[in-house]
Amino acid sequence: MNTPTAGGAAPPQQQYDTAAIMGGLYGDGIIALRGAFERAWVERLREDIEALFEEAKRRPRGALPRGPERWYVEVHPERLRGFVDIVSHPWFVAVCRAVLGPDYKVIEVGFDMPGPGAQDQPWHRDFPMPDATRLGRRLNSLAFNLTAVDTTPEMGPFEVAPGTQWDEFGLDAEATGRRELGMFPPREWFPRYEARRQVRMAQMGDISARSALTIHRGTANRSDRSRPVLVVGVDAPDARNGERHDIQLTPAYAASLPEEVRRHLGGRVVEKLEYIEQAHAIEGLLKSDY
């Protein structure tokens, strides 16, 4: 892993400019660090993801569909050999502290698996806009992505519409219990997102951070390879996304973690890792005519 030196007495995360981090996430809604990890490290990540995907497919609700030939799998942190490297990377720490404050929590670890034949998704965000953003104009969660392959145009790259984390729609989503109202913008807005869209050609070793509210989509995979992407979700203390996820740690693994990592890791300690039954289905991603 490429871990930059601290450069004197300053903490490593101080190498990264807080204003630039906040400007990027409050402006475009997405930022990235190229070449954060060595390719050999990413190869091991891909091995773990592929093994976990095969395991998940053999269990009921082990992998949730996110559209044709597109899947999501939530995993236990200790099943990934590089997990500690990710959450202790100085850039990861600097971004979390800048946007979410010193008491942020990692609340989700999983991966997307768009395989050959995956189709264009509708433009969407990952959950409805919380009051912290709608009323307080504050981002209280982040999603980090790490690609496990070099993305090519044929592999269905990620697309994002910068600045759209502030778009307001479906404001009664939580009150009515229909979360997807707040996740999928009206179709008549789609031309705006097409006009703004950026294609992200992430390469092995890159890491990105985005507001999960920024409108985005996966595109059609016309290659003969899957495009696995690791997802790490992080909340500020007032966010509630952790309620929809189930991070588990065995006592031995929890004890082995650096104190600073353990302090920022949500979830619960269990004597034996329990099977994760994927629960957060998103019906709108399954409808080709949404």
- Give 13-60 pLDDT, tens digit per residue: 668 999 999 999 999 999 999 999 999 999 999 999 999 999 998 888
Instruction: Tell whether 134 is covered by a domain.
Output: yes
Can you tell me the mean pLDDT for 180-193? 93
Predicted local distance difference test score (pLDDT) of residue 62: 78
Instruction: Tell whether 6 is covered by a domain.
Output: no
Instruction: Tell whether 105 is covered by a domain.
Output: yes
Instruction: Tell whether 5 is covered by a domain.
Output: no
Does pLDDT of 4 surpass 70? no
Q: Which residues contact 178 (CB under 8 A, 6 or more apart)?
A: 170
Predicted local distance difference test score (pLDDT) of residue 14: 67
Predicted local distance difference test score (pLDDT) of residue 281: 60
Q: pLDDT tens digits, residue range 231-276?
A: 999 999 999 999 889 999 999 999 999 999 999 999 999 999 998 8
Which of these, 225, 219, 190, 232, lies nearest to 68 by C-alpha position?
219
Does pLDDT of 177 surpass 70? no
Domain membership of residue 189 as a residue range: 25-286
The pTM for the full model equals 0.92
Contact status, residue 92 vs residue 86, Cβ threshold 8 Å:
yes
Instruction: Tell whether 160 is covered by a domain.
Output: yes
Angle between helices 90-100 and 18-27 (to 10 degrees): 70
Instruction: Tell whether 13 is covered by a domain.
Output: no
Per-residue confidence at 5, pLDDT binned at 50, 70, 90?
Answer: very low
Per-residue confidence at 287, pLDDT binned at 50, 70, 90?
Answer: low
CA distance 31 to 199: 13
3-state class (DSSP) for residue 115? coil
As for how many domains the chain has, the answer is: 1
Instruction: Tell whether 72 is covered by a domain.
Output: yes
C-alpha triplet 155, 184, 290: angle, nearest 5°? 75
Across the chain, mean pLDDT equals 91
Q: What is the CATH number of the domain that holds 75?
A: 2.60.120.620
Instruction: Tell whether 282 is covered by a domain.
Output: yes
Predicted local distance difference test score (pLDDT) of residue 172: 73
Predicted local distance difference test score (pLDDT) of residue 6: 36
Per-residue confidence at 289, pLDDT binned at 50, 70, 90?
Answer: very low
